[in-house]
Amino acid sequence: MNHLTFSNQSPIDFIALGRLCIDLNANEINRPMEETVTFTKYVGGSPANIAIGMSRLGKKTGFIGRVADDQMGKFILNYLTKNQIDTSNILIDQSGTKTGLAFTEIKSPDDCSILMYRDNVADLKLEPRDIKEDYIKSAKALLISGTALAKSPSREAVFLAVEYARKHGVCVFFDIDYRPYSWNSIEETAIFYHLIAQKCDVIIGTREEFDLMERFEHNPNREDKITAKKWFSYHAKIVVIKHGKDGSIAYTSNGEKISGKTFPANVIKTFGAGDSYAAGFIYGLMEGWDISESMEFGAASASIVISSHSCSEAMPTVNQIKEYIQKCQNGEIVTT
């Protein structure tokens, strides 16, 4: 039992909203970016990665967003279409915006960083008029990402999408996805994260991201239980707090606490773990699995992706995750 309900009448399983960008992952790993010469291009952005993950797992998936009227925008649309994601609600922005770029630096498996170019990007030009009520209504679940709240008019578009979801009984997932370079201040971030989290059914984030949302709260010891309890007074049914290598903890509105396990991985880079975890976890919940099994599936998915060079391209299928779990149980995969 996972405390969530999804409409059997909805033709679309899952819709994501928000950031569509390009990841340029360093080919020369174990060296700083200033010494890196070549990069490989992938579709990126947390909600895009999660949508690709959900589609790979067999869910009928759509996306709401904007891309720039440039070659990178075309690359994104072509890739999403190739991955069987409905792009009918992705608009091509005509205002002269650019596609956001993320250059990754892989000095070591534990020392990775991202250099972002986010000025005048198309995804933050999403407008309330771009949000179609009938499209939201047609879905079982909606995922929103915190980055889309960083600027207007994208911020207002997110709130409208969530209002439509609440009106029609669509389950809302909130991936906090804090990117400091997108915001004017920590206080601004905390305010808008707090306002949107009140309207969501499932909230997923790191301990540090929840600390940010609690900036105006009293939780000096950063206790997960206190953090989760706050959101149950609103719409939340499940709160997942991630602790990196130490796994994750899920709390439910009826008082349950579930600790998630981790899996060994031959780590190449750390980014992408949260997106692949979210896809696997949400997939399990939508399949009606209990929370523990869903968390396990998400953790295995994350281990697969951090063992790969890409994020979006490495998103695994159901069989790949099940096979990975089985190999770990058999001792065939160990950390090197």
Domain extent listing, the chain = 12-20+46-98+119-329
Tokens of 142: 């909606």
Tell me the CA distances in angstroms from 133 to 14, 92, 136, 161, 202, one per residue in order: 15, 20, 5, 8, 21
Is 116:145 a contact under the CB 8 Å cutoff? no
The pair of structure tokens assigned to 18 is 């928000």
Token digits for 289?
């699995």
The confidence score (pLDDT) of residue 47 equals 98
Least Cα distance to 2 among 331, 239, 175, 186 occurs for: 239
Give pLDDT, residue 1: 66
Nearest residue to 157 via CA among 97, 165, 203: 165
pTM of the predicted protein model: 0.96
Q: Which residue has the tokens 């207002």?
A: 156
Q: What gap in Å lies between CA 311 and CA 85, rounded to an integer?
A: 17
Residue 257's pLDDT is 96
Per-residue pLDDT of the chain (336 residues; tens, 9 = 90+): 678 999 989 999 999 999 999 999 999 888 888 999 999 999 999 999 999 999 999 999 999 999 999 999 999 999 999 999 999 999 999 999 999 999 988 887 777 888 899 999 999 999 999 999 999 999 999 999 999 999 999 999 999 999 999 999 999 999 999 998 889 999 999 999 999 999 999 999 999 999 998 888 878 888 999 999 999 999 999 999 999 888 899 999 999 999 998 899 888 888 888 999 999 999 999 999 999 999 999 999 999 999 998 999 999 999 999 999 999 999 887 765
First to last CA, the chain: 36
Q: Which CATH number fits domain 12-20+46-98+119-329: 3.10.20.30, 3.50.50.60, 3.40.1190.20, 3.40.30.160?
A: 3.40.1190.20
Phi-psi region of 45 (alpha: psi -120 to 50; beta: other; left: phi over 0): left
The 10 Å Cβ neighbour count of residue 134 is: 8
